[in-house]
Structures are given as C-alpha cells and as structure tokens.
Amino acid sequence: MRQGYVRRLGESGVLGALGILATLALWGSLPAEAHAVLVRSTPAVKAVLTTAPDRVQLWFNENLEPAFARVSVWSASGTQVDLGDAAVTLDDPKLLTVRLGPLAPGSYTVKYRVLSVDGHVVEREFAFTLRAP
C-alpha cells in the first residue's frame, strides 16, 4: 500500500513539473511588452557641437501620449535653458521637440519623460557639449 502511495506521489510530482514547464513555455512565447525607445535625437547623444542648436528633437520608436511627454534641457550649473514649449508634433506622434534659448559653450543635459501609447513611462537623460567655434 505504501509503495502505491509513493508511486502516485512520484507521478503527480512529474505531472506538476511538466505543468510548470508548459506554463513557462507559454509565458516565453507571449509578445514582449514594448516601451518607447529613443531612436534618434538632434543633437545626438554625446554630440560635440560648434554651432548652438535652436531646438532639441527626440524621435521614438512608437507614438507618444502628448499630454504626458516632457523634455527639458539643463546647463552644467543647473539652469534650465529650454523655452518650456515641449510638444509632441501633430504630424509625427513619435517626435518630441523643445526650443532652446541662446547657449554658451559648455555641457548640457537633455532630460525626458514620456508615456507611450502602450502605457509605459520611460525617463532618461543624455548629454551634449557645445564648444566655441
């Protein structure tokens, strides 16, 4: 009697393990959840420029929610140097842009926070440098 009980436990353990493996396999085959990824920017990430840009433009791999898209530009001293008019463009919902005031030579940090239409928030930053011509 005891051997039959042990045998049934062994069989159910194998079946349980197979069930777990099947569940994991199904999870692995589900599509990955996407996030808005920065694919290009002007100025480029880590760019060294000799001419000051008049705006920052960020292109993403998927559409952004305009009401929740932010971008700002900061000097090395911590002063905000953009004009505060960040917007997702109407003709390209993957493009976020902000105009800049006059820039002196130095290092600048672009900070952005976007909500993609899939509901995921992405917050990142990158730098560029402006050198005297």
Domain ranges of the chain: 1-30, 38-130
Q: Which pLDDT belongs to residue 100? A: 98
pLDDT digits (tens, 9 = 90+) for 5-41: 445 545 555 444 444 444 434 444 334 456 899 999 9
Measured from the Cβ of residue 124, the count of other Cβ atoms closer than 10 Å reads 14
The answer, yes or no, to whether the previous bond of 43 is cis (omega within 30 of 0) is yes
Question: Which amino acid belongs to residue 98?
Answer: V
Phi/psi for 75 (5° steps) reads -80, 170
Q: Which fold has domain 38-130?
A: Immunoglobulin-like (2.60.40)
Rounded to 10 degrees, the C-alpha dihedral 89/93/98/99 comes to: -30
All residue ranges of the chain with pLDDT < 70 are 1-34
Q: What is the pLDDT of residue 23?
A: 41
Give the span between the Cα atoms of 13 and 48, in whole angstroms.
61
**For position 117, what pLDDT does the model report?**
78
- Model pTM score: 0.73
Residue 92 DSSP code: -
In whole angstroms, give the CA distance from residue 71 to residue 90.
16
Residue with tokens 């005891």: 2
